[in-house]
Amino acid sequence: MPKHTAPVKKNEIISLHFEDLTHEGSGVGKIDGYPLFVPQALPGEEGRVKVVKANKNFGFGKLLELTKESPERIEPVCDDKCNGCGLQHMSYNLQLEMKQNQVKNAMKKIAHLDHVPVHPIIGMDKPMHYRNKVQIPVGEKNGKLITGFYQKRSHHIIENTETCVTHNEVINEVVKAVRDISNRYGIKPYNEKDHRGVLRHIMVRTGGKTKDVMVVLVTRTNKLPHKEELINELTAQFPHLKSIVHNVNSKQTNVILGDKTEVVWGDAYIHDKIGDITFAISAKSFYQVNPSQTKKLYNKALEYAAIDHNDLVIDAYCGIGTISLFLAQKAKKVYGVEVVPEAISDAKKNAKMNGITNAEFFVGEAEKVMPWWKAQGLNPDVIVVDPPRKGCDEELLQAMIEMQPKRIVYVSCNPSTLARDLRILEDGGFQTQEVQPVDMFPLTPHIESVCWLER
């Protein structure tokens, strides 16, 4: 029996018509029913393609030239060598349509809930310069310190990619200033091969509403060289600068932040507002990167939760209390749980700062804490869950089912794990009512959704 059953061979050059998009935004064309995935190609286009890989059931190609262009194709702002904004060759309308379909397909194929309405995605008016936090690697070239993102699937830094169009513009200015000051004073960049040098990463956070700025300088060394010069020059240049933080990461690791953090100038926190609530954000806080879309997402979560003043609410994966404090404005009591101790101390601080007294926060794994709460007689009316990309633990889903709330609101950043978890909740006696996708990350394939279930 022949080993190779694909109708194409590696390095073969073929003509292809593209009819669809993958969930990552690659074009899909077929040869005798055999799909080829080709980055940068759009549905309705035709072109010459070089086959780079031919597996048994599907292959990958490289677009050599287009012979027919889609009207949805636009000129990319950059060449996307870092693979961060892989959708910038398509119109914003097509990006939204692609993400909408991604959620619909997951609901149909994984959750088997094709009858559940998936509402039109909530997009942005201006889908650029939305990111309020960036972590930029530092490297060396020709004896000079350089900054930029890593090239796709490598640790090679592409110079000047820190001026990315998704960043809040002040972030780009701050990174450039730190780089220029470091070069002037001879601060050595970190070299990960021989684990030498000083400056590893520059992290910048901003407050969307307040315009506050925090700079976090991550070094291998306990000492921050030319600390006074950095402070003097940055504070003179950026009037909204509220905080300069030194983080020490002396380990040989891909993890960005180390354990030791010291505020060298200003405050330990910057602030931002979403709706009526003010949040204090530290160097290590988890806080949504697109504040204008976060407000839309949380308003929808609040609408789906349909809370009244008698309701007890659990917010699993509560972080620094962002959703909890929104819920507490309507509920009798909110219980937030989160595994990161610093996040819980931030959540308590945020509740106090906003004068919210009906929210309590606990450190622990939601899947362990919730069965214990159940045993103590806590019966929530509503559970809100906003898990990481891998979705909810099976234990947590079972705990939610056993608690028998009237309603569950599931906020998700991954349609396939959302759909998998919805199937389990459906089998456990809950009915999915509707899904609202929100575009939190324009120019990238990522998509956020909020989903409403009733017991």
**Which residues are tagged catalytic?**
413
In angstroms, the CA 187 to CA 140 distance is 11
In angstroms, the CA 46 to CA 70 distance is 9
In angstroms, the CA 137 to CA 212 distance is 22
Amino acid letter, 274:
I
Per-residue CA distances from 183 to 162, 190, 263, 277, 320 (Å): 16, 13, 23, 40, 36
126 phi, psi to nearest 5 deg = -125, 95
- For the chain, the maximum distance between any two Cα atoms, rounded to a whole number of angstroms, is 73
* Bridge partner residues of 362 (DSSP): 337
In angstroms, the CA 38 to CA 61 distance is 5
**How is 200-243 classified by DSSP, letter by letter?**
EEEEEEE-TTT--EEEEEEESSSS-TTHHHHHHHHHHH-TTEEE
Half-sphere exposure of 182 (CA within 13 A, CB side): 28
Structural contact between residues 200 and 249, judged by C-beta atoms closer than 8 angstroms: yes
| Torsion from C-alpha of 160, 162, 165, 171, nearest 10 degrees | -130
Tokens 């101790």 belong to residue: 341
Structural contact between residues 271 and 281, judged by C-beta atoms closer than 8 angstroms: yes
